Amino acid sequence: MRLTINGRFLTQPVTGVQRYAREFCATLDEALSEGDGLPDLEVEVLTPPLAARLAVSLPTYDAISLREVGRGGGHRWEQTALPRHLSGTDVLFCPGNTAPLMSLVRKRPAVVVTVHDLAFRDFPETVSGSFRRAYEVIVPSVMRRADRVITVSAAERTRMLEHFPEAAERLTAVANGGIPRVRPVPAEDDPVPPDGPFVLYVGALNPRKNVAGVIAACRSLLADRPDLRAVFVGDPVGIYQAVDLGPADERMIFAGKLGDAALEAHYAAASLLLFPSFHEASGLPPIEAMAQGCPVVVSDIPALRERCGEAALYCDPHDVASIATQAGRVLDDVALAADLAARGRVQAAAYTWENCLARTLEVIRAAGSRVASAR
């Protein structure tokens, strides 16, 4: 079977969606290189011209072919250039929410798309108008026409079926991995975590992530604990509405985006990860933190209950007092923090990119069988 992967993600800043795509491809490449039961699979990643890419690092593949096609980038490249270079492809896999409409209509090759969430509908005020308009055209077409659709949790699958009940037989929940497949290599100029106790937030600085609630809760925690600091890892992403970060405070550290090694070091040193998001389809930071023995406080929402199980404390994301109280329990109770750290390591071990790959390939092969039977 010839599998083509939509490589538009390689030209985008690395947030959760792009990390998913990169980890999937890296894990697939390793499996192909080691001959892990995939002798019939030929894989190519098609990308826009990479000379014009954003400042992101490119992966190196041993068994997957990487090919630049067409001109330009973004939605225009995906909708016009990508579908013209799929000759001989059995399945097109699009790991980043969208797919070329031409391929969806033609039904050849088979199309499999991972739609991570419907936040553009559930929280329309948090994204730009152009982003929302594009997704309101493309994502409903994906949900109605793609051979198979993957989403990243059972909770998000349930939410999606409220909007698209006709997708029930084609929509599969496949959990993300958690721990990065390859241990990152530290760089000499990596930022180092603060000395002493600190609360950590990791994620895009946008309203859907409840950054304002995290800031308010942290200010409350800092007021009662003179030696405590709060570190925010993540940048505002262009498609999202800006967040008011409030007055400057030397104990509130906005570190921007960190490389993988620096991020891992921050997880390992933090007193806790605070992640009271209003909505998550799955959520990578809690599992990444758990893998490093960092206690986790998350919002009491279905996807995070599904992902974190009994290994986290839960708070009401709409109540700053609830967020601060649960975080304070971890900061003030050494035994509780140690118990959460131990539970977290066990929980994190259950989420691997190898499992994600295996389940995803099952879905891809099921889509490819339609093409094979039509020949």
Q: What is the pLDDT of residues 8-26, one digit of tens each?
A: 999 988 888 999 999 999 9
* Cut 0.85: pTM above it: yes
Strands 91-94 and 171-173, how do they pair? Answer: unpaired
Residue 361: inside a domain? yes
User: pLDDT category, 240, cuts 50, 70, 90?
Assistant: very low
Q: What is the pLDDT of residue 239?
A: 44
Are residues 138 and 210 located together in one domain of the fold? no
Are residues 171 and 206 located together in one domain of the fold? no
Provide the mean pLDDT of the chain.
90
Residue 193: inside a domain? no
Give the mean model confidence (pLDDT) for residues 207-224: 94
Are residues 270 and 169 located together in one domain of the fold? no
Instruction: Reduce the secondary structure of 82-102 to three states and give it as a string.
Output: HHHHCCCCCEEEECCCCCCHH
Residue 183: inside a domain? no
User: pLDDT category, 310, cuts 50, 70, 90?
Assistant: very high
Residue 192: inside a domain? no
Are residues 203 and 339 located together in one domain of the fold? yes
Give the mean model confidence (pLDDT) for residues 59-74: 92
Are residues 210 and 258 located together in one domain of the fold? yes
| Highest mean pLDDT pick, 10-14, 44-48, 258-262 | 44-48
pLDDT at 269 over 80: yes
Residue 46: inside a domain? yes
Residue 169: inside a domain? yes
pLDDT digits over 345-367, tens only? 999 999 999 999 999 999 999 99
Residue 239: inside a domain? yes
Q: What is the pLDDT of residue 356?
A: 96
pLDDT at 244 over 80: no
pLDDT at 56 over 80: no
Query: What CATH code is carried by the domain that includes residue 104?
Result: 3.40.50.2000
Task: Report the domain count for the chain.
Answer: 2
Per the structure, the complete domain to which residue 299 belongs is given by 198-349
Are residues 163 and 19 located together in one domain of the fold? yes
Q: What is the pLDDT of residue 40?
A: 86
User: pLDDT category, 236, cuts 50, 70, 90?
Assistant: low
Q: What percent of the chain has pLDDT over 90?
A: 73
pLDDT at 35 over 50: yes
CA distance 146 to 173: 15
Q: What is the pLDDT of residue 14?
A: 81
Are residues 33 and 172 located together in one domain of the fold? yes
Are residues 340 and 245 located together in one domain of the fold? yes
pLDDT at 160 over 90: yes
Residue 289: inside a domain? yes
Q: What is the pLDDT of residue 181?
A: 67
Are residues 230 and 127 located together in one domain of the fold? no
Are residues 116 and 203 located together in one domain of the fold? no
Are residues 217 and 302 located together in one domain of the fold? yes
Top-confidence residue, 130 or 237? 130
Give the mean model confidence (pLDDT) for residues 180-188: 69
pLDDT at 180 over 80: no
Are residues 160 and 136 located together in one domain of the fold? yes
pLDDT at 54 over 70: no
User: pLDDT category, 99, cuts 50, 70, 90?
Assistant: very high
CA distance 112 to 252: 42
